[in-house]
Amino acid sequence: MATIGDVAREAGVSRSTVSAVLNGRKLVLPETRGRVEAAIAKLSFSVNAGARALATARTMTLGVVVRFHEAEFSPALATYLVALSDAARESGYSVMLLTEADGEAAVRSAIAGRRVDGLVLLNVVEDDPRMEPIAASGFPAVLIGMPQDTRGIDAVDLDFAAGARLLVDHLAEVGHRRATFVRWPDDLYAAGSTYAIRFAAAAREQASGRGMTLEEVPCAVGPEQVRSALGEELLRREAPGALLVHNDAAVAMLPFALHDVGLRVPADRSVVSLHSAELARLYALPFTSVESEPEAVVHTAVELLVRRIDAPDEVPVARLVAPHLERRDSVAPPA
Amino acid sequence: MATIGDVAREAGVSRSTVSAVLNGRKLVLPETRGRVEAAIAKLSFSVNAGARALATARTMTLGVVVRFHEAEFSPALATYLVALSDAARESGYSVMLLTEADGEAAVRSAIAGRRVDGLVLLNVVEDDPRMEPIAASGFPAVLIGMPQDTRGIDAVDLDFAAGARLLVDHLAEVGHRRATFVRWPDDLYAAGSTYAIRFAAAAREQASGRGMTLEEVPCAVGPEQVRSALGEELLRREAPGALLVHNDAAVAMLPFALHDVGLRVPADRSVVSLHSAELARLYALPFTSVESEPEAVVHTAVELLVRRIDAPDEVPVARLVAPHLERRDSVAPPA
DNA sequence: GCACGTCAGCGTACCGGTTCGCCACGCGGG
DNA sequence: CCCGCGTGGCGAACCGGTACGCTGACGTGC
């Protein structure tokens, strides 16, 4: 592999001139530049990323710290990783995967080894231990997820509250006064899952502001439990004509549950939901919904992180990504 | 951040001695080693990966080239990525994500920038263009997937043929003489998807060797088409008492299709399938099956790649990972 | 005609490690 | 007593880039 010295010799200039051409800094006579470029092409030279990193103290690499225990529903993970890598590339960065079971250790060693210029923490939860070494060292990082206390670290997440309001409004606007709120099981809220809490709180508030009644049905995960719980609710006398769903497992099974009991959407029931786009695709969900916006979230995250790398001392930022309603004709006025 | 020079000064030795301690090469007096280690701890020094890479011409990083293709089942992708990163770490390597839409370009620039010591190509298809620059340059790489012509590149994949034989045998052993082979649509085979072809060929051969009849039902993807196609087949008069499935979309919908028409497993139908473990988990599939073995495949891939990095000139290797049968009581003797 | 400013390009130090030849020291043997 | 050898550690070169100060040539203004 050719080095910058080989190029310099070939072009009859010094290494620093080649470097100047490479980086576009300083003025180089067009003719000289031409010779250098020809030499580069001839030797098919390309800069050694490691050497450049050493000289500039910039690796142009971001680390993404994947939380290990994915007991939860994780089809979205790949989407986030790929989107992250794409967004990073747009800014000239590569992405390194950090998957140690002990996320905190992963963060520590990434910082210590100076392999990366910044870190993206995926799927951040309340009091996430991965934040500790970052907060302590001030290393550039961005959280995806929005804990109460971001400990001075930049953070991005979907605006779940706005999503809840969009969905409630959508039901209210066609005249629904009552809805079943199929939500996560209680322990998830108790565990401090902030997106769940934010969604539920906003849904309740918006509903009451709209004069709407929400009848809450917590729904455990597990296909069979979900299906029977849903079946029961759907068959209940006086059940509302609309369903507001924030529970991936439940919404995935909902088409089948509806089919089981012979109810049609939107004729018999209106349905709106917030879930990941990936889920919608996998299960071909036919519901009007607010979908997570992995590309937008990740794009914002990279933007913040790159800015933070360049300006480590600016005040931390928390950013919510505006959700939008994906209409799929699953809502009709109540009977 | 402390450098090796800081450590040397603190310990009162030269930089090369610190390096010797770090790498365990050469003999260092226990007492000297102790002083160095104390200095390292005191300054909380850790080696700068980039500098070491420059000096050793080894980045200790593997690149994973993700094919951009959307249509496939992405939950499995995350599993592979995480498993890959874990396996790499075991061998002291990190993993860099390469997701350019143009996989060939991604490979070229990875090789040119010398950011990685080797490449893993995920999800390789017949005549995959990503192979070209690798074959041309001899850069260390391993394919996950098994094209007919590996072009001298190491390759690993699940042994789909063996998987097919396991499933056919399992049905034959309890006495089934006929089975419906729910398979992928014809165009997938035509497109040269080698795992599909290998499975189908082995299934047919093993069945005929066992004196079993396979009645083939190609099944398009898309939940609704699948469901109706399956329903039709299940209700068909004289339909076999067993289903052999190699089609992710179909097997995911199969529980519902069976439920629709009121058939029970294994009382009314025996079912065996080959699909990804991730699919089984997400859809809680209750079928005896051969599951893809992402950990084993990826582990083998890393093993081969690391060996290839150390010994670039050995003969290329193709390795098939033995599948195993995951019994879930979905098979009973025919009525 | 001279001082000065600009511009293109050069030389060199430096980033933080590794590697390897060399040296000094202590010891044993002839 | 001297030589040779093994051992522990040192110093310098090197990996492949970047950054910055300097120089020489040329153009301009007075």
Whether the CB of B220 is below 8 Å from some CB of chain A: the reply is no
Average pLDDT over residues A224-228: 78
The arithmetic mean of pLDDT across residues A215-226, rounded, is 83
Pairwise CA distance, residues A326 & A321, whole Å: 15
Measured between CB atoms, does A223 come within 8 Å of chain B? yes
Q: Count CB neighbours of A200 within 10 A.
A: 20
**Is B98 among the domain residues?**
yes
pLDDT of residue B279: 85
B71-98 average pLDDT score: 88
User: Is residue A317 assigned to a domain?
Assistant: yes
Give the pLDDT score at B253. 86
Residues A116 and A263 both lie in one domain: no
Q: What is the pLDDT of residue A59?
A: 96
Per-residue pLDDT reduced to its tens digit, A115-158: 999 999 998 988 999 999 999 999 999 999 999 999 999 999 99
Is the CB of A113 less than 8 angstroms away from the CB of B75?
A: no
Is residue B169 domain-shared with residue B281, that is, in the same domain?
yes
Averaged pLDDT, B140-158: 96
What separation in angstroms does the CA of A121 have from each of A116, A133, B96?
13, 12, 16
- If you measure CA to CA, which chain A residue comes closest to B67? A82
E strands within chain A?
Answer: 61-65, 94-98, 118-121, 141-144, 154-158, 178-183, 213-218, 242-245, 270-275, 288-291, 318-321, 325-326
pLDDT of residue A288: 97
- A249 band by pLDDT with thresholds 50, 70 and 90: confident
Residue of B64, B84, B282, B302 to mutate, interface with A, max A Cβ within 10 Å: B282
Name B283's Cβ contacts closer than 8 Å, sequence gap at least 6. Answer: A223, B251, B252, B255
The answer, yes or no, to whether residue B74 has pLDDT greater than 60, is yes
The stretch A215-243 carries a mean pLDDT of 86
Arithmetic mean of pLDDT, A235-263? 90
Of all residues in chain A, the percent with pLDDT exceeding 90 is 72
Q: What was the pLDDT predicted at B68?
A: 67
Q: Please tell me which of the candidates A59, A73, A284 has its beta carbon nearest to residue B223.
A: A284
The rounded distance, in Å, linking the Cα atoms of B322 and B157 is 9
**Contact at 8 Å (CB) between B18 and B7?**
yes
B235 touches chain A (CB under 8 A): no
Domain co-membership, B188 together with B151: no
Contact B206, B167 (CB under 8 A): no
pLDDT for A24 equals: 81
- pLDDT bin (cut points 50, 70, 90) of residue A70 is low
Residue B9 has pLDDT above 70, yes or no: yes
Would you list the DSSP string of A276-316?
-HHHHHHHT--SEEEE--HHHHHHHHHHHHHHHHH-TTSPP
Q: Does a structural domain hold residue A329? A: no
Residues B288 and B191 reside in one and the same domain: yes
Count of alpha carbons within 13 angstroms of residue B241, beta-carbon side: 16
Res B73 pLDDT > 70? no
Whichever domain contains B65, its CATH number is 3.40.50.2300
In a domain, A52, yes or no: no
Segment A198-221 shows an average pLDDT of 94
- Tell me: pLDDT of B59 over 50: yes
Q: Under an 8 A CB cutoff, do B75 and A78 touch?
A: yes
For residue A326, is it within any domain? Answer: no
Quick one: B137 and B199 in the same domain? no
With a cut of 60, say whether residue A30 has pLDDT above it.
yes
- Give chain A's mean pLDDT: 91
Residues A152 and A252 in one domain: no
Please say if the pLDDT value at position B83 is more than 90.
Answer: yes
- A274 and A280 Cβ atoms separated by less than 8 Å: no
- Please name the member of A84, A94, A114 whose beta carbon is closest to the beta carbon of B115: A94
Indicate if B123 and B224 belong to the same structural domain. no
**What are the Cα distances from residue A72, in Å, to A86, A132, B223, B282?**
25, 24, 23, 10
What's the pLDDT tens digit per position in A150-182? 999 999 999 999 999 999 999 999 999 999 999
Chain A closest-CA separation from residue B209 CA (Å): 37
Give yes or no: residues B135 and B177 share one domain.
no
Tell me the mean pLDDT in the region B13-22: 92
Asked if residue B260 and residue B207 are part of one domain, the reply reads yes
Summarize chain A as % helix, strand, coil (round to 5). Answer: 45, 15, 35
pLDDT score, position A68 = 65
CA atoms of B330 and B288, how far apart (whole Å):
6
- Please tell me the predicted confidence (pLDDT) of residue B144: 95
Query: Is B148 in the same domain as B257?
Result: no
In angstroms, the CA A32 to CA A36 distance is 6
Indicate whether A203 belongs to any domain.
yes
Query: In this structure, are A241 and A254 located in the same domain?
Result: yes
The predicted model gives B110-139 an average pLDDT of: 94
Residue A258 pLDDT > 60, yes or no? yes
Q: CA-based Rg of chain B, rounded to a whole angstrom?
A: 26
Residue to mutate among B54, B66, B260, with most A CBs inside 10 A, is B54
Mind listing the pLDDT tens digit for each residue in B259-303?
Answer: 888 899 899 999 999 998 888 888 889 999 999 999 999 999 999
Please choose, from the candidates A99, A95, A157, the residue with its C-alpha nearest in 3D space to the C-alpha of residue A125. Answer: A157
Does the pLDDT of residue A71 top 50, yes or no? no
Domain membership of residue A17 as a residue range: 4-47
Considering the domain architecture, whether residues B73 and B132 belong to the same structural domain is answered as yes
Q: Is the pLDDT of residue B151 over 60?
A: yes
Distance from CA of B75 to the nearest CA of A (A): 4
| Residue B335 in domain | no
Q: How many domains in chain A?
A: 3
Could you tell me the pLDDT band of residue A190, with boundaries at 50, 70 and 90?
confident
CATH of the domain at A13: 1.10.260.40
B317 assigned to some structural domain:
yes
* Banded model confidence at residue B228, pLDDT cuts 50, 70, 90: confident
Least confident piece of the model among A83-87, A244-248, B75-79, B232-236 = B75-79
8 Å CB contact of B48 and A61: no
Is residue A92 pLDDT above 50, yes or no? yes
pLDDT of residue A43: 93
pLDDT at A198 over 80: yes
